[in-house]
């Protein structure tokens, strides 16, 4: 049993292959955190709750409750009653007072895992996951809180979520509800998080955890370019293969907070959930609120193990698209090729040339609808612009199919341009505050997705286009963050629900889309990579990683992204040069090798690129066909980081059976008068003998990993090489 209850000791245990998580119940019913770490094999005890220590022993001595609450390692701390650290649940009663205290009432343990109403969440069969539901109550409020823990044994993951049910008679307000908390003793932790901006998303940052609260968050209505719903606490000296790592990742695509707090007693509270800013949810008697899921993992073997736990978990238990384990077509997207300046003829030109080189799908990006020739109009008017797409969409798709390519299309369904028929008819469908001119961003407003008729309209527009032609792929874009939060549809009391209702609206739309079009390949995108999160992965197996497709910028972006997410989820293309974001010129070959570590595709005008680049495309498409399965299904190892050494980057992907390992090495800057560089590779079977493809060089896995492999220097900057090792014995 991976989840058990020891009734005598009042201990709940959740075991995965390499980890154990222990929860203890005090005599009064407080739910405390005992332990999370390396797998325990023997009897477990509750002494780490420290209930015997001064100044307060709840069962013996009622003299100093606040001291107790302010120190006790809580599984789910509540606000207003004396635990002054960050709370996870703040409830305001009808009198306007905030306070809540939870006591254990009962529990349920079962195989499998329930769905979360209206939300993306992990899934698994009875033999893959066991769930513990702890039922807690606040007797004063009549509030029931269900703390749910699902242990995924094979992947070393615990998925946590929380449901709050009003079983009382008062109208309550949830002013804050997070999804997970981890109270621990400090181990000189460092905090590792992902930060960024447009075109440079998910850069890794790490630093000492100081006293007080340190957080990353978004209040932009999406998970954001700027900060990422991921947080890890690591012990000093943690690297790819050593060190303790406690990590959380949020299955949510809206506002979030991920925070670590080092307290006066050198304890650490790590929390994650929906950001409380501009959040207030009304909970009438009989109603329930479901908070999104947090994915929790512990690794005692460094960051590499954490990464592979997340990768396996997302591939096995989050991504449900049929493309999850299937080859994705090599696409060519016309955005950087033409921007808004295209027509049927131009697209067919691109398609015709692309076909010759082994490309398999044409994606028509922004600008095919309404009167959109720039980014200043027509969002919401999802009718094909027949002056550009002469003969209509169906005819275009048929011609592309005749050429031998599949067809994909771009939408930005959540938005409305002030200059659109839709806005002229329904100005009240835009999110805005009555009496205040709403802030435009990229010349657009955001649609009020809390409003059912808006959801209906948006869905019908997308579905109608998809029914009108043979479209197999959709890029779902979202190009601005939310502001001026106001809904003309929600009442005064409910405006604080808008941020969350917006995200629920996005989920409802995507759920409907993938249900009605189960074979559709959906790629989410938000001005590049602003909504790259596990919530989106539930609907789409891949997400556009960044608008910056420069091979060198991508090294850092893809290193940060792949710290958590599988390579198969990272939208990556060979793009035009000089690069449209940084003006850098990199070899076509390097652009191909870097894009191979993602979904792989093209984003350039194939009819115009230099002949010597063009010549490489057939070779690159063959390369994709050779390696796509390994990259999609294999184990990822980070070998070296350009972000750290400023000279070179290296990663490896090993097949699960360790029969082959593909190492990618990028020499960002050449070094004069230097010898070969020794790198300690990973991912091999130490017992195995491997041949380096296209050579007669043979190595044992042990030698490559313990003694190292020599990367011979080559001439030039921004150059890259693939090393394919095949096991022979």
Question: What is the rounded distance in angstroms from the CA atom of residue 482 to the CA atom of residue 504?
Answer: 15
3-class DSSP assignment, residue 629: helix
> Residues 138, 261, 366, 381: which binds ligand DGJ (CB under 6 A)?
366
Side-chain-side CA neighbours of residue 95 (13 Å):
5
* Least spacing, CB of residue 338 vs ligand DGJ, in Å: 11
Minimum CB distance to ligand DGJ smaller for 156 or for 366: 366
* Least spacing, CB of residue 462 vs ligand DGJ, in Å: 16
Question: What is the rounded distance in angstroms from the CA atom of residue 465 to the CA atom of residue 696?
Answer: 54
Minimum CB distance to ligand DGJ smaller for 346 or for 721: 346
Residues 6+ apart with CB under 8 A from 141: 91, 93, 100, 166, 168, 170, 172
Ordered DSSP codes for 207-225 = EE--BEEEEEEE-SSSS-S
Site for ligand DGJ contains 335 (CB under 6 A): yes
Site for ligand DGJ contains 152 (CB under 6 A): no
Please say whether the beta carbons of 274 and 178 come within 8 A: yes
Minimum CB distance to ligand DGJ smaller for 191 or for 478: 478
* Least spacing, CB of residue 336 vs ligand DGJ, in Å: 8
The token duo for 40 is 């325990």
> Residues 189, 410, 445, 532: which binds ligand DGJ (CB under 6 A)?
410
Minimum CB distance to ligand DGJ smaller for 11 or for 525: 525
Question: In the 3-class helix/strand/coil scheme, how is 246-284 assigned residue by residue?
Answer: EEEEEECCCCEEEEEEECCCCEEEEEEECCCCCCCEEEC
* Least spacing, CB of residue 520 vs ligand DGJ, in Å: 17
The token duo for 238 is 């943690």
Q: How many CB atoms lie within 10 A of CB 55?
A: 11
Total number of residues that touch ligand DGJ (CB under 6 A): 11
* Least spacing, CB of residue 510 vs ligand DGJ, in Å: 17
> Residues 477, 497, 559, 649: which binds ligand DGJ (CB under 6 A)?
477
Give residue 492's Cα distance to chain centre: 33
Question: What is the rounded distance in angstroms from the CA atom of residue 609 to the CA atom of residue 515?
Answer: 39
* Least spacing, CB of residue 532 vs ligand DGJ, in Å: 11
Minimum CB distance to ligand DGJ smaller for 367 or for 534: 367
* Least spacing, CB of residue 85 vs ligand DGJ, in Å: 39
Of 37-45, 153-161, 398-406, 521-529, the window that binds ligand DGJ (rule: CB under 6 A) is: 521-529
């993938």: which residue's tokens?
Answer: 514
* Least spacing, CB of residue 529 vs ligand DGJ, in Å: 8
Q: Give the strand pairing for 445-446 and 415-416.
A: antiparallel
Question: What is the rounded distance in angstroms from the CA atom of residue 78 to the CA atom of residue 101?
Answer: 6
* Least spacing, CB of residue 316 vs ligand DGJ, in Å: 28
Please list every residue from 679 through 698 that binds ligand DGJ, using CB under 6 A: none
Minimum CB distance to ligand DGJ smaller for 189 or for 335: 335
Of 125-133, 444-452, 522-530, 680-688, the window that binds ligand DGJ (rule: CB under 6 A) is: 522-530
Of 272-280, 504-512, 523-531, 704-712, the window that binds ligand DGJ (rule: CB under 6 A) is: 523-531
Question: What is the rounded distance in angstroms from the CA atom of residue 583 to the CA atom of residue 504?
Answer: 39
> Residues 316, 479, 481, 682: which binds ligand DGJ (CB under 6 A)?
479
> Residues 222, 365, 448, 523: which binds ligand DGJ (CB under 6 A)?
365
* Least spacing, CB of residue 367 vs ligand DGJ, in Å: 8
* Least spacing, CB of residue 525 vs ligand DGJ, in Å: 5
Minimum CB distance to ligand DGJ smaller for 30 or for 342: 342
Minimum CB distance to ligand DGJ smaller for 313 or for 410: 410
Catalogue the E-assigned strands of 375-466: 406-411, 415-416, 445-446
Minimum CB distance to ligand DGJ smaller for 450 or for 524: 524
Find, among 296, 269, 271, 291, the residue nearest to 281 by Cα: 291
Please say whether the beta carbons of 224 and 212 come within 8 A: no
Question: What is the rounded distance in angstroms from the CA atom of residue 618 to the CA atom of residue 23?
Answer: 56
Q: How many CB atoms lie within 10 A of CB 170?
A: 18
Query: Catalytic site residue 576?
Result: no
In sequence order, the β-bridge partners of residue 24 are 11, 32
Question: What is the rounded distance in angstroms from the CA atom of residue 308 to the CA atom of residue 42?
Answer: 27
* Least spacing, CB of residue 463 vs ligand DGJ, in Å: 21
């220590």: which residue's tokens?
Answer: 53
Residues 6+ apart with CB under 8 A from 157: 16, 122, 151, 295, 296, 297, 309, 310, 313, 317
Minimum CB distance to ligand DGJ smaller for 422 or for 478: 478
Minimum CB distance to ligand DGJ smaller for 141 or for 530: 530
Minimum CB distance to ligand DGJ smaller for 88 or for 199: 199
Per annotation, catalytic residue among 477, 576, 605, 649: 477
Please list every residue from 524 through 553 that binds ligand DGJ, using CB under 6 A: 525, 527-528, 544, 547
Question: H or E stretch including 158?
Answer: strand 157-166
Per annotation, catalytic residue among 138, 357, 365, 547: 547
């030698």: which residue's tokens?
Answer: 703
* Least spacing, CB of residue 544 vs ligand DGJ, in Å: 5
Catalogue the E-assigned strands of 80-171: 89-92, 103-111, 129-138, 143-152, 157-166
Find, among 353, 357, 312, the residue nearest to 624 by Cα: 357
Of 200-208, 239-247, 520-528, 706-714, the window that binds ligand DGJ (rule: CB under 6 A) is: 520-528
Q: What are the φ/ψ torsions at residue 427 (nearest 5 degrees)?
A: -60, -25
Query: Catalytic site residue 376?
Result: no
Please say whether the beta carbons of 679 and 712 come within 8 A: no
Find, among 486, 674, 668, 506, the residue nearest to 587 by Cα: 668
Q: Give the strand pairing for 406-411 and 473-476.
A: parallel
Ramachandran sector of residue 31 (left: φ over 0; alpha: ψ -120 to 50; beta: rest): beta
Question: What is the rounded distance in angstroms from the CA atom of residue 261 to the CA atom of residue 86?
Answer: 8
Minimum CB distance to ligand DGJ smaller for 155 or for 365: 365
Q: H helices of 529-570, where?
A: 534-537, 551-562
Question: What is the rounded distance in angstroms from the CA atom of residue 22 to the CA atom of residue 33?
Answer: 6
Closest CB to ligand DGJ belongs to which residue?
366
Task: Tell me the catalytic residues.
Answer: 477, 547
Name the residues that contact ligand DGJ, by CB under 6 A: 335, 365-366, 410, 477, 479, 525, 527-528, 544, 547
């Amino acid at each position: 049993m991976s989840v058990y209850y020891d009734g005598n000791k009042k201990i709940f245990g959740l075991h995965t292959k390499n980890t154990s998580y222990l929860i203890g119940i005090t005599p009064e019913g407080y739910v405390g955190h005992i332990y999370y770490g390396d797998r325990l094999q023997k009897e477990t005890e509750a002494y780490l709750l420290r209930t015997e220590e001064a100044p307060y022993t709840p069962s013996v001595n009622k003299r100093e409750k606040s001291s107790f609450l302010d120190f006790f390692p809580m599984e789910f701390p509540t606000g207003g009653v004396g635990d002054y650290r960050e709370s996870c649940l703040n409830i305001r009663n009808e009198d306007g007072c905030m306070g809540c205290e939870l006591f254990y009432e009962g529990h349920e343990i079962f195989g499998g895992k329930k769905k979360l109403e209206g939300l993306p969440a992990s899934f698994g069969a009875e033999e893959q996951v066991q769930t513990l539901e702890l039922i807690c109550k606040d007797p004063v409020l009549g509030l029931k809180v269900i703390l749910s823990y699902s242990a995924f044994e094979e992947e070393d993951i615990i998925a946590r979520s929380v449901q709050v049910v009003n079983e009382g008679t008062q109208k309550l307000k949830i002013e804050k509800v997070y999804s997970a908390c981890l109270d621990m003793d400090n181990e000189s932790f460092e905090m590792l998080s992902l930060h960024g901006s447009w075109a440079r998303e998910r850069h890794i940052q790490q630093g000492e955890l100081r006293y007080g609260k340190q957080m990353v968050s978004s209040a932009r209505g999406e998970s954001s370019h700027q900060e990422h719903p991921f947080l890890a606490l690591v012990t000093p000296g943690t690297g790819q293969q050593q060190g303790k790592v406690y990590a959380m990742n949020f299955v949510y695509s809206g506002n979030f907070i991920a925070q670590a707090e080092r307290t006066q007693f050198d304890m650490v509270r790590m929390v994650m959930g929906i950001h409380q800013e501009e959040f207030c949810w009304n909970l009438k008697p009989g109603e329930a609120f479901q908070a999104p899921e947090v994915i929790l993992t512990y690794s005692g073997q460094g960051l590499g193990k954490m990464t592979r736990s997340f990768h396996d978990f997302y591939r096995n238990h989050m991504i449900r698209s049929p493309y999850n384990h299937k080859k994705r077509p090599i696409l060519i997207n016309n955005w950087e090729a033409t921007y808004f300046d295209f027509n049927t003829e131009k697209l067919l030109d691109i398609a015709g040339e692309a076909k010759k080189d082994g490309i398999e799908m044409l994606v028509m990006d922004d600008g095919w609808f309404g009167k959109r020739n720039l980014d200043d109009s027509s969002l919401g008017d999802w009718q094909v612009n027949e002056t550009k797409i002469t003969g209509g969409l169906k005819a275009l798709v048929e011609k592309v199919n005749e050429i031998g390519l599949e067809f994909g299309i771009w939408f930005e369904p959540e938005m409305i341009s002030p200059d659109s028929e839709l806005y002229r008819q329904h100005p009240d469908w835009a999110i805005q505050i009555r009496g205040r001119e709403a802030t435009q961003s990229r010349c657009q407003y955001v649609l009020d997705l809390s409003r059912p008729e808006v959801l209906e309209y948006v869905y019908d527009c997308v579905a109608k286009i998809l029914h009108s032609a043979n479209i197999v792929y959709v890029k779902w874009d979202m190009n601005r963050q939310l502001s001026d939060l106001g809904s003309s549809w929600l009442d005064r009391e409910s405006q604080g629900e808008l941020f969350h209702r917006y995200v629920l609206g996005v989920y409802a739309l995507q759920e409907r889309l993938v249900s009605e079009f189960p074979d559709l390949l959906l790629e989410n995108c938000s001005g590049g990579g602003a909504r790259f999160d596990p919530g989106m992965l539930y609907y789409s197996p891949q997400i556009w990683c960044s608008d910056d497709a420069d091979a060198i910028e991508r090294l850092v972006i893809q290193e940060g992204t792949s710290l958590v997410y599988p390579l198969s989820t990272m939208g990556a293309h060979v793009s035009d040069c000089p690069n449209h974001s940084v003006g850098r010129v990199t070899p076509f070959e390097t652009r191909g090798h870097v894009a191979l570590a993602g979904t792989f595709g093209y984003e350039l005008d194939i009819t115009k690129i230099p002949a010597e680049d063009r010549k490489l495309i057939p070779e690159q498409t063959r390369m994709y066909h050779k390696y796509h399965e390994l990259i999609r299904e294999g184990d990822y190892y980070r070998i070296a980081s350009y972000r750290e050494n400023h000279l070179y980057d290296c990663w490896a992907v090993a097949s699960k059976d360790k029969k082959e390992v593909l190492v990618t090495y990028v020499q960002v800057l050449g070094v004069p008068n230097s010898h070969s560089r020794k790198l300690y590779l990973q991912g091999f079977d130490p017992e195995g003998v491997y041949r380096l493809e296209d050579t007669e060089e043979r190595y044992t896995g042990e030698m490559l990993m313990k003694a190292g492999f020599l990367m011979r220097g080559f001439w030039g900057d921004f150059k890259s090489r693939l090393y394919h090792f095949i096991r022979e014995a």
